[in-house]
Every structure is written in structure tokens, then in C-alpha cells.
């Protein structure tokens, strides 16, 4: 099983959506997500979207980087510019890539749906390439 960390700023929208999509759609890949300045909550629109798509899990939650920094990962993906700029050094060497997505926070539900599709169509194939 390959392990991927999705890193964002608030860990409330993009990274949670990416975590759920990877776990639902990529065989042999397990994802977690975290925020460099975690908000402490999942955006209600992100949760609703994942529930609507049937891939929400109750254990998805906004978490700080210190809760995952010592875990072993095969790949770390930053999905926002701030996380890319402030991506920490991990205790063990790990490959890191950046695939940025516009933050849907504060926008209507359709922005979350667009982000979901962008992550599914752009990020998932890149992860498979990076892990192969």
C-alpha cells in the first residue's frame, strides 16, 4: 500500500476532497490530509459534496501537520500555494509535488463541485504517475 499526504493551508476543503477521492478511487493508495494552519473543521460544502458522492467517512477531519509529520509517506502533495511555500521538512526523505487548485471556501456549492472534478481529473492521474 502506497501512502500519500495531501497538504493544504486550512485542511477544510481541497485537501479533504482530495483525500476522500484518492481513498475511493485509487487502488493500492491510502491518503491522509493535513493543514499547515489547520482550521479545525471540515467545510460544510465539502462534507456535503463527499456525502452526495458517497465517499464521506466520519474519520475525515481537519488536522494539524504535527499529527502526521512522523508518518511514513511515499508522496506529499501540496494543493495550495501557501502550503507549497511553507511545506515543512519531513523527518524522512519523501518525494513532494505541487498541484494547485483554487480554494472554493466562501463560494457557492458549484465551486466545490468544480474543485472535485478538477482534483479527480488532474491530481489523481499525476499521483498514479508519481507512484509508479
* Residue in the structure block whose three cell numbers are 466545490: 112
The label of the residue with cell 485542511 reads 11
Active site residues: 8, 80, 87
- Pair type for strands 29-35 and 75-78: unpaired
Q: Where are the beta strands (DSSP E) in 9-119?
A: 29-35, 75-78, 95-98
- Asked if residues 121 and 22 have their Cβ atoms less than 8 Å apart, the reply is no
Q: Most distant CA pair in the chain: distance in Å?
A: 39
Residues comprising the chain, all counted: 132
CB 20 within 8 A of CB 49: no
Task: Answer left, alpha or beta for residue 130, where phi above 0 means left and psi between -120 and 50 means alpha.
Answer: alpha
Amino acid at each position: 500500500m502506497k501512502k500519500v499526504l495531501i497538504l493544504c493551508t486550512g485542511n477544510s476543503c481541497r485537501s479533504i476532497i482530495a483525500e476522500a477521492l484518492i481513498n475511493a478511487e485509487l487502488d493500492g493508495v491510502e491518503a491522509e490530509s493535513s493543514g499547515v494552519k489547520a482550521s479545525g473543521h471540515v467545510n460544510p460544502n465539502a462534507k456535503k459534496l463527499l456525502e452526495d458522492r458517497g465517499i464521506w467517512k466520519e474519520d475525515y477531519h481537519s488536522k494539524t501537520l504535527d499529527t502526521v509529520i512522523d508518518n511514513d509517506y511515499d508522496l506529499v502533495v501540496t494543493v495550495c500555494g501557501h502550503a507549497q511555500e511553507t511545506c515543512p521538512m519531513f523527518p524522512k526523505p519523501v518525494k513532494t509535488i505541487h498541484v494547485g487548485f483554487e480554494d472554493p471556501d466562501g463560494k457557492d456549492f458549484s465551486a466545490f463541485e468544480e474543485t472535485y472534478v478538477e482534483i479527480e481529473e488532474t491530481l489523481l492521474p499525476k499521483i498514479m504517475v508519481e507512484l509508479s
